[in-house]
Amino acid sequence: MKTLAYELDFLEQQLALSISGKLEQPLELVLKEELNRLPKAFLHAVPGQHKKILKAYFGLHYHRLRHWSDQLFKQKNPVLALIEELDTLLQFMEDHLADYLPKMKALPRYRASALLINVKEQAEILQLQLVEKGVDDRLMLVITDSITFRGQSSKKISKRRFSYAARLAERIGYALEADATPEKWQEKLISLLMEANLNGTAFYHYMLAYTKAGLNRDLPLYDQQRYYLLQQQEVMAYADEGKKGYKSGKPPIAVQLYRAFDYELATLRRLEKISNRLENKVDPIYLFRTCLSARQFAMFVRILINVGIILVDEPQRLFDFVCRHFRSIGTEKMSAENFKKNSYKKLARDVERVEEVIEEMAEESVRLKA
């Protein structure tokens, strides 16, 4: 904290010298130099193992400030406005350290729930840009949901996912500036998402967003597999590097990404076999019996609804079947040891997830009949 306090005192001294006319350099240059020094002072006050998390948390706010400060310098009288921006930044840093530093020792190393604050701020800014550009409401909702990771526990928001969301939001902003029409912008978004997602889970969420926006109603499963295979070629090199890193004691992040991707690809291939066997008329109860987990079932049904393969006539029949199935697992097949491992809580979440999918199916059924 001493270094940060010193930087704040230094800034006050420079402002006082400028007002009295004794400052040798123009105030604009002093403030620009100060912007470069502040991150180091900020991180100096933080315990070593948490610097990466705090740096990511601070980074989006800081770089946005730098962008606006550059714009202010181009104006005729930027000093007062820039001082206000600096004051906001300094207050942000002080508040952050005061609020979070005492709690850091109690948090797991890679938990980054605080990072959601900045991502949500970025999403709100992005949403305003989208409205101005006239982008379709459905697509706008999908984008902002994906950036803020809505509905997920903060414990699951890792530093890596935050960085991905921040970069994606930033690049979408650039795309908005480059392309004037919504049509061109939507094409740009799809290419950005294709480029940004390297693992199977992320790619599935991309496909879900793509279909929710109504952009691939006629996209066959074969083309979806082809996209997966393209992603597989990209991630192979990362997986090889990850295996080498694992032997030397480094975290095998790339290997984990590859495994997640491989699982999703296998799921999609299995889905194609099921749909071909039933001549593109999938019985949801049969589909549920073939799934390994409720999560897999939810993924299958969402894709099938979106690409128009699944037709739901009796959602209540499926709902009753699913409830009976999970009740039997909970009462007959679950041992006391599994209860101790919180398996029942996971089971309850799976039931809730399936119920959400069934609600979607019911809505889709009503829409199709209308």
Percentage of residues in the chain having pLDDT higher than 90: 0
Structure confidence at residue 172 (pLDDT): 52
pLDDT tier for residue 161 given thresholds of 50, 70 and 90: very low
Range 191-204 average pLDDT: 42
Residue 363 pLDDT more than 60?
yes
Check if the beta carbon of residue 211 is closer than 8 Å to that of residue 142: no
Q: Name residues whose C-beta falls within 8 Å of residue 193's C-beta, 6 or more positions apart in sequence.
A: 168, 206, 209, 210
Q: Name residues whose C-beta falls within 8 Å of residue 313's C-beta, 6 or more positions apart in sequence.
A: 365
Percentage of residues in the chain having pLDDT higher than 70: 0
Check if the beta carbon of residue 83 is closer than 8 Å to that of residue 65: no
- Write the pLDDT tens digit of every residue in 69-121: 455 445 544 444 444 554 555 455 445 544 444 443 333 333 333 334 444 45
The mean pLDDT value of the chain amounts to: 47
Range 217-237 average pLDDT: 43
Q: Where are the alpha helices (DSSP H) in 181-331?
A: 182-196, 200-212, 221-247, 253-277, 284-290, 294-306, 315-328
Residue 238 pLDDT more than 50?
no
Residue 356 pLDDT more than 60?
yes
Structure confidence at residue 37 (pLDDT): 55
Angle value at C-alpha 162, between 180 and 4, nearest 5 degrees: 105
Q: Which of 19-23, 48-52, 66-70, 317-321 has the lowest mean pLDDT?
A: 48-52
Dihedral in degrees, nearest 10, Cα atoms 71, 73, 76, 82? 90
pLDDT tier for residue 60 given thresholds of 50, 70 and 90: very low
Range 46-58 average pLDDT: 46
Give the chain's count of helices (H) and strands (E): 16, 0
What SS3 class is residue 310? coil
280: left (phi over 0), alpha (psi -120 to 50) or beta: left
Structure confidence at residue 33 (pLDDT): 59
Tokens of 356: 């959400």
Structure confidence at residue 354 (pLDDT): 59
- Write the pLDDT tens digit of every residue in 256-312: 434 444 444 455 555 455 445 444 444 555 445 444 455 555 555 554 444 444 444
Higher pLDDT, 221 or 111: 221
Please report the beta strands in 99-253, taking only residues with DSSP state E, as ranges in sequence order. none
Q: Is the entire prediction scored with pTM above 0.75?
A: no
Quote the DSSP letter at residue 150: T
Burial class from Cβ neighbours inside 10 Å (0-12, 13-18, 19+) for residue 310 reads buried
Q: Where are the domains of the chain?
A: 2-108, 110-196, 280-370
User: How is 60-71 classified by DSSP, letter by letter?
Assistant: HHHHHHHHHHHH
